[in-house]
Amino acid sequence: MSILAVLEQRAGAWNRVSFETLAAAQQLGEELGREVSAAVAGAGLENLASELGGHRLGRGYAVDHPLLENYTADGYTLALGQLIERIKPFLVLFPHTYQARDFAPKLATRSGRVLLSDAIGHRVENGGLVMVRQFFQGKINADLRFAGEPPYFASLQAGAYRADRLAPGSCPVETFRPELEAAQIRTRPLEVFREAETTVDLGSAERIVSVGRGIREADNLPMVQKLAEALGAELAASRPICDNGWLPMERQVGSSGQTVSPKLYLAVGISGAIQHLVGMKGSKTIVAINKDPEAPIFEVADYGIVGDLFQVVPALVEELEKRK
């Protein structure tokens, strides 16, 4: 019973987080003494299949069918379900992407199993597998063990495993042709698109002051705006601020917003949920102002002030102006 990594592609290009999942599968395979295989689904996969063959794996599977040209949950679930039925893996791993969120729970349900989603790591204890995931938006860690019989299903948080640990090698790649009919696919995906061009380019900003729900009301935003001005920084925000319409969506940082890596990222009243962190943790210097010393933002912060932002921010503005 092998470990199967399900990789992700769109229009013939890999989603890079797939390689983290592949590296994790190799690592687990070694630790558990199990063979590792990998699968990718789509239509006309010749190129990806040959790339798949360049990894240290027991076997690769190109799950190839014209009806898999565009991703659909129905198509992927049926196709990968048939592969799982045939190779009966021990553990199926996915990257915790938006696409995996869309079909992996369905695939697991079809096998009568529960997906262990968004895992951040694992340990092997006495030959048994312990998975680590967080609850309460990163405030609590937990060790989990699969229960019942395999196959087990888990998805891995982006950044939890390192793609640069991926071992090269070679493996045979088999083309797996699932049985699919057009009528089984109930959703019709249309083109992917972006909203109108953005007018701010946070990606090239040297300094960013980012504001979160700690600000409480839109009326309090000018205070943070002032801080941004005093620092010569762009103003950005966490998702709830943009959801409320207090700042435009284009100023949102995170997995569904922009990814930024300025010299200075100053987070004001932001808790540091993983979807926010992925958008800014590459910043050179990170500063957090938060009244909660346990806020997950401090996990990535170089400097911090634990305190009330309504006192700290004006004090910072004053200090910066004094030094001008």
**Binding another protein by CB under 8 A: which of 60, 151, 257, 269?**
257
Out of 205, 264, 267, 270, the residue judged to bind another protein by CB under 8 A: 264
Per CB under 8 A, contacts with another protein among 82-141 are 97-98, 101-106, 109-110, 112-118, 130-131, 134-141
Task: Tell whether residue 26 is a contact of ligand FAD (CB under 6 A).
Answer: no
Close Cβ partners of 165 (under 8 Å, ≥ 6 residues apart): 23, 26, 27
Is position 219 an interface residue for another protein (rule: CB under 8 A)? no
Which of another protein, ligand FAD, none does residue 95 bind to, with CB < 5 to 8 Å depending on kind? none
CB-based contact 252:237 (threshold 8 Å): yes
Please report, as residue ranges, which positions from 177 to 216 form the binding site for another protein (by CB under 8 A). 186-195, 207, 213
| Residue selected from 95, 105, 151, 254 as contacting ligand FAD according to rule CB under 6 A | 254
Q: Which amino acid is at 3?
A: I
Size of the site for another protein (CB under 8 A): 91
Q: Does 256 bind ligand FAD (CB under 6 A)?
A: yes
Which residues, 6+ apart, have CB-to-CB distance to 168 below 8 Å? 54, 55, 56
- 318 near another protein, judged by CB under 8 A: yes
State the binding partner of 319 from another protein, ligand FAD, none, CB within 5 to 8 A by kind.
another protein
The type of residue at 58 is G
Query: Structure tokens of 59?
Result: 């076997």
Residues in a beta bridge with 287: 266, 303
Of 120 and 221, the one with the shorter C-beta distance to another protein is 120
72 vs 55: CA distance, rounded Å: 27
Given a contact cutoff of 8 angstroms between Cβ atoms, the answer to whether 237 and 210 are in contact is yes
- Per partner kind, with CB cut-offs from 5 to 8 A, the member of another protein, ligand FAD, none near residue 192 is another protein
Q: What is the DSSP letter of 255?
A: T
Q: Closer to another protein by CB, 65 or 239: give it.
A: 239
CB of 108 or CB of 274, closer to ligand FAD: 274
Contacts of 154 (CB under 8 A, 6+ apart): 91, 92, 93, 94, 115, 116, 117, 119, 131
- For ligand FAD, the binding residues in 305-324 under the rule CB under 6 A are 308-310
Q: Is there a contact between 218 and 246 (Cβ–Cβ < 8 Å)? A: yes
* In the complex, minimum distance from the CB of residue 302 to ligand FAD, in angstroms, rounded to a whole number: 18
